[in-house]
Amino acid sequence: MKILVCISQVPDTSTKVVLKDNSTTIENAGVSYIINPYDEWYALIRAIELKESGIASDVDLVTVGKANTEPVIRKALALGGDKAIRIDAESTDPYLTAVYIAEYAKSMDYDLILCGKESIDYNNGSVGSMLAELLDMDYIGFATEIKIEGNTAVVKREIEGGEETDSCKFPLVISCQKGVAEARIANMRGIMAARTRPLTVITPTVDDALTSILSYELPPAKAGVRLIDPADMDELVELLHAEAKVI
């Protein structure tokens, strides 16, 4: 079984985001970037587990990004990926991202394509389903468990009010979330090996985004905290009536 894992680079949640150019772009200087947690902790680690168990033979990685994304894809290699593909393009449009990956994957005969349920920067959660459509593959989203039984994937996924179990034959695209795998960190051997593992750069042949970002807006600053003396319940009750807002 050949597995392709989609990897995206996102800002670390501890990074302070600064806008520039009239709030149309993000200042990259000083921003720390990481692998999207849903891609790393769940999609990638589950793929590695399948290889370690002998079910999968190859775990390839693909990302859409410029040269500054290579440290992130190298980290994914250190965790256990076999080879990496960087599609040399910038895209904030999920459809175009899916097109780039599909253009690469359509001739590679992957049995299973895994991605995180969403990226923590734009939270679109739509690349996986678009990719499946472009590749004419079945799609299962928001997986919390993936088991392989012969040529079939048995997948548990969250639905409103409960859980659903699906059975689907390969080839298949699955988006993953918490529960699919347990997060792990790269060991020194993996880090050293990642330096010599193949990283192929591909120039895309299509460029037809459906959406563009007009501007960004930072969330409002958090209001100050007012501390009330535990003995003064009357003041607390008065403030709850006068100032507290029900959301």
Confidence of residue 69 (pLDDT cuts 50, 70, 90): very high
Residue 30 Ramachandran class (φ > 0 left, ψ -120 to 50 alpha, else beta): left
* 147-163 CB burial, b ≥16 within 10 A, e <16: ebeeeebebbbbeeeee
Gap between the Cα atoms of 84 and 7, Å rounded: 10
How confident is the model over 171-224, as pLDDT tens digits? 999 999 999 999 888 888 888 888 888 899 999 988 788 888 899 998 888 777
Q: Is the pLDDT of residue 12 over 80?
A: yes
Cα torsion through 103, 95, 155, 149, rounded to 10: -10
- Helix 94-105 crosses helix 127-135 at what angle (to 10 degrees)? 40
- Of the ranges 72-86, 148-162, 232-246, which one carries the lowest mean pLDDT score? 232-246
What is the CATH T-level fold of the domain 2-219, as seen in this structure? Rossmann fold (3.40.50)
Q: How many CB atoms lie within 10 A of CB 208?
A: 8
* 26-39 CB burial, b ≥16 within 10 A, e <16: beeeeeebbbbebb
Gap between the Cα atoms of 170 and 5, Å rounded: 15
Gap between the Cα atoms of 19 and 29, Å rounded: 11
Q: What is the pTM of this model?
A: 0.87
